[in-house]
Structure 1
Amino acid sequence: MRENRTGGKDAYAMILEAIDVGVYKPGDRLVESELAERFGFSRTPIREALQRLETQALLERDGRSLIVASLDHNQLAELYIVRGELEGLAARLAARHATKEEVRVLRAMVQEDHDLLGDPQAMARANRRFHKQVHLASHNRYLVQQLDLVHRSMALMGTTSLAAEGRGEQALEEHANIIEAIAERDGDAASTRLRAHISAAFEARLRLDAQDFGG
């Protein structure tokens, strides 16, 4: 048995994280032996993890191989619709239930994230942390679980909308406005602002995709 070098994370979590941070991108082939070597597991837990990821539609078959799945235009639109509604609900509940400490943490995140402007991948990681904190501030475990599933699928987009010119600065301003609505206990405004934030992210992604087509 190969020694586990992953700090307690199981094979599923390690592969999922690698997809999430872009180590493996849509279309990349995942090979049991290579994954076992990279993450320090035997092939059995790797095989089980791959089967689980395939069941969740994060991996798909290409002949006999498993590759990281990709999203077509319709799937992307559907995902953003669901994300917008669920995130809007999370913001509404956060305005009702967030503690003063949670609001302070959110504000600190936005301040710190200004230092990451110009690095889209670092901004993307910070953006995920921010949204996760809003989800947790809703204090609704079932909503958090559903949003975890949605954000898991977001990893299949390969690139971040924060790579669009000016999107990083705009996103941080939107984050700050969402926090203020939460701090003021204005659920309607928090929900509206967060859904508008998701809509702006979707528009930025469509613009990036259009540029790719033009190339």
Structure 2
Amino acid sequence: MKDLKSGHKDAYDLILEAIDMGTYGPGDRLVESELAERFGVSRTPIREALQRLETQSLLSRDGRSLIVASLTHDQMAELYVVRSELEGLAARLAARHATDEEIRVLRAMVEEDRAYLTDPTALARANRRFHKQVHLASHNRYLVQQLDLVHRTMALMATTSLAAEGRGENALAEHDAIVAAIEARDGDAAYKALKSHISIAFETRLRLDAADYADQV
């Protein structure tokens, strides 16, 4: 069965990963039978996963069909406010509690991710991996759970801000500053560096959305 070959992921994780990777984007219809065939699982766990995703507002109803939800401008703004505070807190706690090994991994990620500067999709995956490592380095399970929920909702955005010209290189410089603050065990600096990083990402996304809207008018 395909789900067993995919690291023992259940139907929920498989669908969520497909949304996160852009296989299904905002407005795409999700059909039980097609998902069951794609992932090699029965329709019952698929149905349960879809219900769970709908409860979490990651899917919405379009008549009798379930589609991948999309975020309004206000929802996106609200999400970034919450993300900024939670990510900043994670960085502050990481500066206090991260092990030396975890900090070395973060530093290595910054260097390794330079290889993806010409590939926004790969860089977006690397970016999620970096942020997840900061979350884990906070050593606060409840904060990690809340950030997982925020990042799941981030998958409802059709494009990555890293696609903007020059954004990838600047984002890595911001990651470098975050890691430097964590290395220095400076919680306040880590908090400010990560909040600034999220603020710039939000501004970049707003500019991209404005440009897309102008093209459609």
Instruction: Give your verdict on TM over 0.5.
Output: yes
Question: In the comparison of the two structures, how many residue pairs are matched?
Answer: 215
| Contact 1:6 1:39 survives alignment (8 Å) | no
Shift of 1:8: 1.1
**Paired residue for 1:9?**
9
| Unaligned residue ranges in structure 1 (runs of 5+) | none
CA-CA distance at 1:2 after TM superposition? 9.3
After superposition, where does 1:132-211 map in structure 2 within 5 Å?
A: 132-211=132-211
Shift of 1:11: 0.4
- Counterpart for residue 44 of structure 2: 44
- Read off the aligned partner of 2:159 and give its amino acid letter: T
User: Aligned pair in 2 of structure 1 residues 3, 27: CA closer, same or farther (>3 Å)?
Assistant: closer
Report the Cα distance in structure 1 between the residues aligned to 2:32 and 2:94, rounded to whole angstroms.
41
Note if contact 1:28-1:67 (Cα within 8 Å) is conserved in structure 2. Answer: yes
CA apart distance, 1:6: 3.5
- Secondary structure at the aligned position of 1:157 is classed as coil
Cα 1:109/1:4, change in 2 over 3 Å: closer
State the TM-score, normalized to the length of structure 2. 0.97
Q: Report the aligned-residue RMSD.
A: 1.3
Q: CA deviation at 1:158?
A: 1.5
Unaligned runs of 5+ in 2: none
Pick closer, same or farther for the CA change 1:191–1:32 going to 2, 3 Å: same
Question: Which amino acid is 2:14 matched to?
Answer: M
Q: 2:120·2:163 contact (CA, 8 Å) conserved in 1?
A: yes
Which structure 2 residues correspond to residues 51-130 of structure 1 after superposition, within 5 A? 51-130=51-130
Structure 1 segments (4+ residues) deviating >3 Å? 1-7
Q: Write the letter of the residue equivalent to 1:15.
A: I
Cα distance in 2 for partners of 1:123, 1:101 equals 23
Identity %: 77
Cα shift readout 1:84-107 (whole Å, capped 9, x = no counterpart): 000000000000001111111001
Give the distance between the partners of 1:96 and 1:3, measured in 2 at CA: 38
